Amino acid sequence: MTELSVALQEYLRKAGVEWDGDLLRDGLIVLLQALMEAEVSQQVGAERYARSEQRQTYRNGFRETEWETRVGEIPLRIPKLRSGSYYPSFLEPRRRTERALLAVIQAAYIEGVSTRKVDELVQALGLTGIDKSKVSRICQELDGAVQAFRERHLGAAYPYVWLDATYVKVRENHRIVSKAVVIAIGVRESGEREILGLEIGGSEEEAFWTQSLRSLVARGLTGVELVISDAHAGLTAAVTKVMSGASWQRCRVHFMRNVLTHVPKGDKSMAAAAIRTIFAQPNADAAHQQLEEVAKAMEPRWSKAAEVLLAGEDEVLTYMAFPPEHWTRIYSTNPLERLNREIKRRTDVVGIFPDSAAVMRLVGSILIEANDEWQAGRRYFSQASMRKLHEPLEAAMPALPSPIPVAPIH
């Protein structure tokens, strides 16, 4: 046994590993270093110091790093290349969002925001302790990327802009408060979808929305023809003030909910079916006519619902002044709601954020990832349909059938 131990120590010494008595850890160091050497030799096209016609580049020293594992920190000497780059296959690079989530969890522990759910997640990630210096390094890298994303110049016209907010819980001045996370997305004239902005505030007051919209304009937001949002008073006032010349579309989904709140539970399905006939009309004139018929039919039984329906007539049918190919995506905030659900899925893991900076870090990283995926995917609207924005609507539309008759409500 003594001879085996001495032989192992000698092998580790030749491999450049200092023996510390931890066989598993030291053996893993040797194995990983040998694996990196094999991988980099394959990428270079030649073994170390060997001549080969297949050689692509040359080694250029090493960079030292630490890898956290369940057996402790493993020191690695990752080979560098003169041209190109090499990254070990066993070190799967964390996606930006995952690193942001890790930083939030660690910051939560440091600030004393420890919960059973967060503790279970930390253990699932294989972490056993918190290192403040590492949290700081991760946060600085992510904060810089998020800030650059939020402050980038918007060098294009965006005919369509969606605005919405979701809420998260944040620890502030020894209290837990609710913070509004405001997100803006848009579609360029070429049809690509893009995330335009991210702001965090205490509430959705007019002053906050006004500041958010003005920051978008200052960064180059132009050419807005339609703003889609819910009917929050502060938001609509800010849109009128900052986005002068743009039309406003009230989210159809939210509008339906507002109308149906004034209908008894047992009658909601019947009322909803009647209201949907409005949006099934082929053009704006027919839809306005249908809305009046539906309101007239609803008046005897649900007068308040009929009143709300008539009051929102112009706001909820604005989308019909735009190309029909776009209607299903511009009549509501659903495109932004899907993004909000993804954000909530990630933020619910954290529960209570230690501060607003942690919210910005995580949500900003999620949005950067989503925006990258959008740029690599298909256009949101075809270029042909986007060109119709500058054509008379009547010329762009085919011959239309007659309006759908409204069924009587008893």
Where do the structural domains in the chain lie, given as residue ranges? 2-81, 94-250+343-379
Q: Could you tell me the pLDDT band of residue 394, with boundaries at 50, 70 and 90?
A: low
Tell me the β-bridge partners of 193.
187
CA 296 – CA 351 distance, rounded (Å): 47
Question: What does the DSSP 8-state code read for residue 202?
Answer: S
Q: What is the three-class DSSP state of 61?
A: strand
Over residues 205-223, the pLDDT tens digits come to: 889 999 999 999 999 999 9
Threshold 0.75, pTM exceeds: no
pLDDT in tens, 261-289: 999 999 999 999 999 999 999 999 999 99
* Alpha helices (runs of H) in 299-333, residue ranges in sequence order: 303-311, 313-316, 327-330
Q: Is 331 exposed, middle or buried (0-12, 13-18, 19+ CB in 10 A)?
A: buried
**Is pLDDT above 70 for 94?**
no
Please give the backbone phi and psi of residue 59, each rounded to the nearest 5 degrees, phi first: -70, 155
Pinpoint the alpha helices (H) of 280-355: 284-298, 303-311, 313-316, 327-330, 334-350
CA end-to-end span of the chain, whole Å? 94
Query: Can you say whether the dihedral through the CA atoms of 55, 57, 63, 67 is positive or negative?
Result: negative
The string of pLDDT tens digits covering residues 175-194 is 999 999 999 999 999 999 99
Does pLDDT of 405 surpass 70? Answer: no
